[in-house]
A and B are shown apart, each in its own frame.
Chain A
Amino acid sequence: MSDAKKTNGWTPKKPMVSIKDVHKSFGDLEVLKGVSMDIMKGECICIIGPSGSGKSTLIRCVNALNDIQKGSILVEGQEVNDPDLDKLELRKKVGMVFQQYNLFPHKTAIENIMMAPITVLKQDEKDVAKLAKKLIKKVRLGGKEDNYPGELSGGQQQRVAIARSLAMNPDVMLFDEVTAALDPETVKEVLVTIQDLAEEGMTCILVTHEMGFANEVADHIYFTDRGVIVEHGPPKTFFKRAKDPRTKEFLSQIL
């Protein structure tokens, strides 16, 4: 298996992730009712909105953890809504970080980072070890290589989880409320790590409640409610001049 990723004629001029009219139901409950958005390479976008509005579901659909009933999601030209989807190919492109970190508890921090490239990508262990050491420094956890997840704080675990995703060398990173389980002090250390990534040009899609972070780092903000995008725009206009009453109400309760 070569490291080159299949692109189906995709070029960086086209959206890296293109979501069009996505519908998703769990049984009778329609969670996404026609959501569309385009994310260009190097962009960092934040999806905000009340709980149950379908934010997490949407980004879980991007890497096929949830399937969709209608619509299209293209990741670098690869259609995700396809019964013959090559999931491995998709997941090489898309990294994901979860609210509950979901580290492998029986492996040390460095092993957590090394496992997937060795098992999934069949890369050479020595090369992966070098990469993992670099990544653990990048997320500012030098010295914690041999600690087990249970010995690390929530913020530290979450940063290991970010490094674990980065080890797969993804083109897009999905962050699903990654700071929701953390206390205010550790939230910052995780956000700084994500900010570094965004500034380096990583394409990031975040579901978050951190308005300050969204305002500072995001290129574009989407506000979702009850399965639809109510309003979106760059942070300056979004926060200062929200038009929709629902958006205003939501922002007034947080800010």
Chain B
Amino acid sequence: MELFGDFFKQLYETSGWNFVIFYDQVEWDRFIVAIWTTIKLIVACLIFSLVVGIIGAWAQGAKSKILRYGMSGYIQFFRNTPPFVQILFFYFVLGNLTPSYDAGGYQEAYIGSFGWAVISLGFFAGAFNTEIFRSGIEAVPESTVEAASALGYTRLQSYIHIIFPLAFRVCLPALNNNLVNLLKTTTLAYGIAVPEMMYTANQIWSDNVNVTEMMIVLFLFYVGLVAILVWGMDRWEKNMKIPGYG
């Protein structure tokens, strides 16, 4: 670590390239916090958006008209408005309407900026996941479902044992795409001061006037994260592959 820091310090002194996070303890600590916040944010958003997607796809196939219209309204709203506007709306408008508690002299909201980022981005990506899952469900041949029904399966049983497992395989590539997009979209949490990587990088370059260097760090950081996600999803896709099918 010492050697590593010395290298970047030297680099700064000799060439002017200021990768301050690698030799200054304070900036390094900020950077580490940002890494963890970003990862936590991504994982929470991914999970939340998947849950929304599954429930949404189910609701779209429901008998109740209200539920179906509600779902298409939800999808239209989130698909037709910019995610950045959504995140600001959630935090500043809905955030003001939600309960808060007395935190020793001032009011603290139960849901903070991190929470609102997860909710808003989760719903945003969830709207797309809903459509992706629906396309997968529709790709399962009616005749396969009929065979299950002829064997005495109830609707719920065929969803669990036949439709979802098949639909999931069909929609994995599209899902993969949307989740990569979601990962990158988490940088919008910058707008409501969630201390994730984008926000922190901005703070660091404001303090140290090293925009170019921090931009390079930012790009490499997200390239790395996306690579990990894509690698994981590819492996998943391969594991789920059915011999002789698709």
Interface residue B100 (Cβ < 8 Å from any Cβ of A): no
The residues of A that contact B151 with a CB separation of less than 8 Å are 91, 115-116, 120, 164-165, 168
- Asked whether any CB of chain A lies closer than 8 Å to the CB of B219, the reply is no
Docked complex Cα distance between A98 and B242 (Å):
22
Residues of A within 8 A of B143 (CB): 98, 100, 102
A102-B146, A104-B144 as given contacts; A120 in contact with B244, CB under 8 Å: no
Q: How many residue pairs bridge A and B at CB < 8 Å?
A: 77
Q: Given A98-B147, A148-B244, A151-B244, does the pair A105, B152 have CB atoms closer than 8 Å?
A: no
Q: Return A160 CB to nearest CB of chain B, in Å.
A: 12
Determine if A102 and B243 form an interchain contact, defined as CB atoms under 8 angstroms apart: no
**CB nearest neighbor in B for A165:** B151
Would A106 and B150 be within 8 Å (CB), given that A148-B243, A150-B243, A151-B243 are in contact? no
Q: Does B157 contact A (CB under 8 A)?
A: yes
Contacts of B83 in A (CB 8 A): none
User: Which size bracket describes the interface of B in this complex?
Assistant: 20 to 34
Q: Tell me whether B166 is interfacial, beta carbon within 8 Å.
A: yes
Q: How far is the CA of A96 from the CA of B147 in the complex (A)?
A: 8
Contact of B150 among A63, A105, A152 (CB under 8 A): A63
Question: With A63-B150, A91-B150, A106-B169 in contact, do A150 and B144 touch (Cβ < 8 Å)?
Answer: no
Of the listed residues B141, B151, B165, the one surrounded by the most CB atoms of chain A closer than 10 A to its CB is B151
The answer to whether B153 has its CB under 8 Å from any CB of chain A is yes
Bound complex: CA A1 to CA B57 (Å): 32
Within A192-245, which residues are at the interface with B (CB < 8 Å)? none
Taking the complex as formed, is B101 at the interface, i.e. its CB lies under 8 A from any CB of chain A? no
Smallest Cβ distance from B83 to chain A, in angstroms? 34
CA of A174 to CA of B143 in the docked complex: distance in angstroms?
A: 16
Q: B149-169, CB under 8 A of A: which get 1 and which 0?
A: 111111001000110011001
Q: Which of A146-189 contact B (CB under 8 A)?
A: 147-152, 161, 164-165, 168
> In the complex, what distance in Å separates the CA atom of A116 from the CA atom of B165?
16
A106: contacting residue among B146, B153, B245, CB under 8 A? B245
Q: Which 5 residue pairs are nearest across A and B when measured between Cβ atoms?
A: A150-B244, A102-B147, A91-B152, A116-B151, A120-B152
